[in-house]
A = this chain, B = another copy of it.
Amino acid sequence: MKYTFYLILFVSIFHFSALSQSNGGSIGTEWEVGYSQQKEEQPGEFYPAEIPGAVQLDYMKAKEKAPWYFNDNFRDYKFLEDKYWHYRTQFSRPDIPLDHHLYFVSRGIDYEFEIHINGEKIHYQEGMFTPVELVLDQYLQQENTLEVIIYPIPKAEGAPVSRRQAKNSVKPAVPYGWDWHPRLVPVGIWNNTYLEVAPATRIKKEKLDYQLSGDFDEVSLKYSFRVSDPEDIGYNWVLKDKNGKTIYQKQGSIGEKGEEEIESTLQDIHLWWPHDQGEPYLYTSVLEARSPEGTILDSVVRKVGFRKVELVMNEGAWAEPAIFPKTRSVPPFTLKINGRRIFGKGSNWVHPEVFYGKLDYQRYLEQLKLAKKANFNILRVWGGGIVNKESFFNICDSLGILVWQDFPLSCNPYPDDPHYLEILEQEATSIIHRVSKHPSLAFWCGGNELFNNWSGMTDQSLPIRSLNSLCYQLDPKTPFIPTAPIMGVGHGHYLFYDDQTGEEVFQLMERANKTAYTEFGMPGIAPVSTLKKIIPHDELFPPKRNTAWETHHAFGAWRNSSWLEIETLQRYFGEAGSLKEMVDNSQLLQAVGFKCIYEEARRQKPYCSMALNWCFNEPWPTAVNNSLVGYPNKIKPAFNAVSDACRPVLASGSFSKFTWSPGEELAIDCWILNDSPEKVDGGKVTVFAETGGERKKLHTWSFPGLEANSNYHGPVVHHTMPENMKKQVFRIILEVSGKRDMDSEYRLLYTP
C-alpha cells in the first residue's frame, strides 16, 4: 500500500448533516416497545417508545414509576438487563417515486440487535456507534411492521456484577457501575432514527483532507466523495466563509465510478482556534448531488475549521533521563495548535445523562457553555462513557473547546479475542470517520487507565495496537495516545487529605513533577436542594452508611470513606452541626483543593502542559462527587474557584498547607501566570491577609512585562499568624493595581 499525503481510507458515511437534528420524515414515527424472555417470543405488552431514548425510560413512564434517581429506586430496573426488547413501528407503503427508495436510517442502536420487517430478518449488528442504512423497498407490503429487536446487555461470562461484565464489548463500561454511577445499563434506540423516502442517488462518502502551509495562511484542500447511483448526476461543492460568502466553488458531473476528488489551494485562510487563543472560525461546506434537471437529490452541509494539532515535547523533557542506565524520554504532551504551544486547562467530561439516548443539542449546549465559562479550553471525553452525538462536537467546534476523545474502553482487560477485535475495529472505524471531521478534535486516546494494574492491559494488547493502527490509517494527522495516563502523566490524587500518607493536596502537588495532570479529584457534597431530591428526609442528616447516601456514592465508593470523607471534614472542622454546615465545609475543601491543583500545575509550566480535573459533570444526582457541576447543571463553589484559577492571566499564591496556628509564619509564594497568547504589561501586586474581618497589608511587589504564555515567579511574602482568635477560615488576597481581573483570593484555616 503506497502512502501518499492524501491517501486516507474511506468509510461509509450518511448524509446526516443535511438532516441533522431532524427526524427526516413522517413515516413510521410512532414506535412502541416491550420485552420478552426469549428472542423469538413476542412481548406480552407494548408501551409507547420515545426515539431516541432508552427502553428503561419507556418502561418507567408506562408503569408510572417513582423517580429512578431517588433512594435506591434504580435497583428496580436491574431485572430488565437480561430481556429481549422489541421496538416496533407500523406504516403503510408510501409512494416511492422512480429512482427513489424507502430507507431505514439510524445513527445508533444500543447494543446488539436485529432488524425485521414483516417478520423477516434483514439486518444484524453488534455495536452502537456504527450507523445503519437499509433500503426497504423489496420487503414492502401494503401494511408493514418494522421491528428492532435488542438483545440482553452484553455480560462477559463469569465476570462479577461490575464493570468487568463490559470487558468483552464495545459498550461503555460506566453503566455497569462506577464510583459515581449507579448500576443501570441503558439499552435501546439511542440516536436519531427514522424512515424516509429519498432518491437512490446518495452521497455515501465525503471527506475533506487538508494541509496548512508552514506559515498557516494557505491551505491545500483535497475534497473527496462518492455517490451511489451516479448516472447522469452532477455535483456542486461550495465552501463559504462565516458570513456566507462563497470562497470556493466547483461544479462538475460525476463519473461512472461515482467517485470525485477536488483539489485546490486557498490563500488567506482564517484558522480555527480554541476560544482562549483566537476565534474558532468555521467555514461551511455544502455538497449537492443534482439530477440532470438540476434537482438536488442529496446534500451534505457541515462546518469546516482549519487547524493543525500536534502533541509536542514538553519543555525540559528532553533533558531526561540524565543518568545511566538511560531509559527513554517521556512522551510529548504539550498541545501545539497552529504552531503555538498552549497550556491545556479543562476537565474530564462524562455523559451528563445516565440515559444517554436523551442527550440532545440543548442538553449539550447548557453544559458546554459552563465548560467555557470555567475558562476550559479542552475536555477529555472519558473512555468509560459514550462517544457523544454529533451535536456535542458541533457545539465544541463553535465554542472553541478542544476535545480529547477516548475510545470506549475503560478500566478493563479488553481481550485479544478475534470477535472483540472485529467489533472494536468496526466501531472505531465509524467513530474515527465521524469525529475526525471536527476541528475541535485534539487527539485520540485508546481508553482510560488501561496500562495500570486495575485494567491489566499493556502496549502489546491487540485492541490498543488495532486502535493505533486504525487512527494512523484513517486520521494520521491527529495525534494518538494509547491510554491515559501515559509515562510522565499523572492521575490522582482524589482526596484533599490522604490519611494513609498524612499528605494534603498542597504537599502532594509541591512534590509532584508530571508533564500533565489529566485526572485529579476533590470530593464535594451536592447542594442541599439536590440531596433533598435523592435522599429520604429521615436519612438526610447525619449521613449514614446503608442509606441513600451510600447508593449515591457518599460511602464505599472509590474507597471505604469516599466520597463523603467524613473523617477529613471532622479533622478540619469538627463535628458538623447541620446538613448545611457539612455541605459548606465539604464544598470549601473541594474549592480550595481544586484551585490549588490547577494553579500549581500552571506554575509548573512549561514542563507541565495540562491540567484536567476529575470530573466536570455527572449523569445523575450524586450525594457527593468530584464533579464541578452537579446534576443537571448545578455549579458547586468549586466551579467558581476553578474558573478563577483558569483565567488566562492572574496573580497566584502558593501555600504549603491548609491549617495555620497562632504565631506561625505563613509563606506566600507569589506568581503571575499568563497562559494567554498576549504579552502582559508589568504591574504591582499588594498582598493582604484578612482574618476575622480585619485586613492586613503584608507586602507590595512589582512584576515586569510577561511574554505570551509565560509565568513570572515573584517574591515569597511572609505573614505571622495572629494570636488569640477563634477557629475560622481566613483569606490571603493578591490585588493587582489597575488590573483587578487578575486579583486572586485564597482561603485557609486558622486553628488556635
Copies of this chain present in the complex amount to 2
Q: Is A4 part of the contact surface with B, judged by Cβ < 8 Å?
A: yes
The segment from A319-327, A403-411, A633-641 that touches chain B is A319-327
A289-340 CB contacts (< 8 Å) to partner B: 310-313, 318-319, 323-329, 331-332
Q: What separation, in Å, do the CA atoms of A462 and B492 have in the docked complex? A: 31
- B311, B319, B489: which contacts A453 (Cβ < 8 A)? B319
Q: Is A678 part of the contact surface with B, judged by Cβ < 8 Å?
A: no
**Contact status B327-A485, CB under 8 Å:** yes
**Contact status B3-A489, CB under 8 Å:** no
Q: Is A21 part of the contact surface with B, judged by Cβ < 8 Å?
A: no
**Contact status A488-B422, CB under 8 Å:** no
B residues in contact with A429, CB < 8 Å: 1
Closest to A9 in B: B1
Given A4-B418, A465-B480, A459 contacting B325 (CB threshold 8 A): no
The segment from A103-111, A467-475, A532-540 that touches chain B is A467-475
**Contact status A326-B472, CB under 8 Å:** no
- B313, B324, B481: which contacts A490 (Cβ < 8 A)? B324
Given A418-B4, A422-B4, A514 contacting B472 (CB threshold 8 A): no
Q: Is A584 part of the contact surface with B, judged by Cβ < 8 Å?
A: no
A5 to chain B, nearest CB (A): 4
Q: Is A710 part of the contact surface with B, judged by Cβ < 8 Å?
A: no
Q: Is A517 part of the contact surface with B, judged by Cβ < 8 Å?
A: yes
Chain A contact surface mostly: loop
**Contact status B481-A473, CB under 8 Å:** no
**Contact status A490-B327, CB under 8 Å:** yes
Q: Is A29 part of the contact surface with B, judged by Cβ < 8 Å?
A: no
- B325, B422, B494: which contacts A517 (Cβ < 8 A)? B325
**Contact status B325-A493, CB under 8 Å:** yes
**Contact status A3-B469, CB under 8 Å:** no
Q: What separation, in Å, do the CA atoms of A318 and B468 have in the docked complex? A: 23
**Contact status A331-B472, CB under 8 Å:** no
B residues in contact with A466, CB < 8 Å: 3, 472
Given A331-B458, A465-B468, A324 contacting B451 (CB threshold 8 A): no
Interface centre among A1, A328, A460 (most CB of B within 10 A): A328
**Contact status A327-B460, CB under 8 Å:** no
Given A325-B512, A327-B486, A459 contacting B472 (CB threshold 8 A): no
**Contact status B476-A325, CB under 8 Å:** no
B residues in contact with A465, CB < 8 Å: 468, 472, 476, 480
**Contact status B2-A451, CB under 8 Å:** no
**Contact status B490-A418, CB under 8 Å:** no
**Contact status B324-A493, CB under 8 Å:** yes
**Contact status B422-A326, CB under 8 Å:** no
Q: What separation, in Å, do the CA atoms of A452 and B318 have in the docked complex? A: 7
B residues in contact with A489, CB < 8 Å: 327-328
Q: What separation, in Å, do the CA atoms of A327 and B422 have in the docked complex? A: 30
B residues in contact with A486, CB < 8 Å: 327-328, 459
**Contact status B325-A520, CB under 8 Å:** yes
Q: Is A133 part of the contact surface with B, judged by Cβ < 8 Å?
A: no
Q: Is A447 part of the contact surface with B, judged by Cβ < 8 Å?
A: no
Q: Is A27 part of the contact surface with B, judged by Cβ < 8 Å?
A: no
Closest to A486 in B: B328
**Contact status A3-B324, CB under 8 Å:** no
Q: What separation, in Å, do the CA atoms of A562 and B487 have in the docked complex? A: 33
Q: What separation, in Å, do the CA atoms of A310 and B459 have in the docked complex? A: 12
Q: Is A483 part of the contact surface with B, judged by Cβ < 8 Å?
A: yes
Q: Is A18 part of the contact surface with B, judged by Cβ < 8 Å?
A: no
**Contact status A485-B310, CB under 8 Å:** no
Q: Is A198 part of the contact surface with B, judged by Cβ < 8 Å?
A: no
**Contact status B460-A479, CB under 8 Å:** yes
**Contact status B3-A418, CB under 8 Å:** yes
Chain A 444-468: CB-based contact to B (< 8 A → 1; otherwise 0): 0000000111001011101001101
Q: Is A219 part of the contact surface with B, judged by Cβ < 8 Å?
A: no
- B326, B332, B501: which contacts A459 (Cβ < 8 A)? B332
A115 to chain B, nearest CB (A): 20
Q: Is A748 part of the contact surface with B, judged by Cβ < 8 Å?
A: no
**Contact status A452-B326, CB under 8 Å:** yes
Q: Is A508 part of the contact surface with B, judged by Cβ < 8 Å?
A: yes
**Contact status B479-A473, CB under 8 Å:** no
**Contact status A329-B481, CB under 8 Å:** no
B residues in contact with A719, CB < 8 Å: none
Q: What separation, in Å, do the CA atoms of A318 and B457 have in the docked complex? A: 10
**Contact status A472-B483, CB under 8 Å:** no
Given A453-B329, A492-B326, A473 contacting B483 (CB threshold 8 A): no
Q: What separation, in Å, do the CA atoms of A483 and B459 have in the docked complex? A: 12
Interface centre among A323, A331, A493, A520 (most CB of B within 10 A): A323
Q: What separation, in Å, do the CA atoms of A473 and B429 have in the docked complex? A: 15
Q: Is A592 part of the contact surface with B, judged by Cβ < 8 Å?
A: no
B residues in contact with A331, CB < 8 Å: 451, 458-460
Closest to A519 in B: B325
- B313, B328, B485: which contacts A326 (Cβ < 8 A)? B485
Chain A 384-407: CB-based contact to B (< 8 A → 1; otherwise 0): 000000000000000000000000
A490-509 CB contacts (< 8 Å) to partner B: 490-494, 498, 501, 508
B residues in contact with A476, CB < 8 Å: 462, 465
Q: Is A425 part of the contact surface with B, judged by Cβ < 8 Å?
A: yes
**Contact status B326-A451, CB under 8 Å:** no
**Contact status A487-B4, CB under 8 Å:** no
B residues in contact with A501, CB < 8 Å: 323
Q: What separation, in Å, do the CA atoms of A574 and B453 have in the docked complex? A: 53
Q: Is A421 part of the contact surface with B, judged by Cβ < 8 Å?
A: yes
A1-35 CB contacts (< 8 Å) to partner B: 1-5
**Contact status B462-A421, CB under 8 Å:** no
**Contact status A418-B326, CB under 8 Å:** no
Q: What separation, in Å, do the CA atoms of A547 and B61 have in the docked complex? A: 92
B residues in contact with A332, CB < 8 Å: 458-460
A and B contact pairs by CB, cutoff 8 A, 12 listed: A310-B460, A319-B453, A324-B491, A325-B490, A325-B491, A325-B517, A325-B520, A327-B487, A328-B451, A328-B486, A329-B452, A459-B481
6 pairs of A and B residues whose beta carbons are closest in the complex = A325-B490, A324-B493, A469-B469, A324-B492, A328-B451, A318-B453
Given A324-B491, A325-B493, 10 additional A-B pairs, CB 8 A = A4-B418, A325-B490, A325-B517, A327-B488, A327-B489, A331-B458, A459-B481, A462-B476, A466-B472, A468-B469
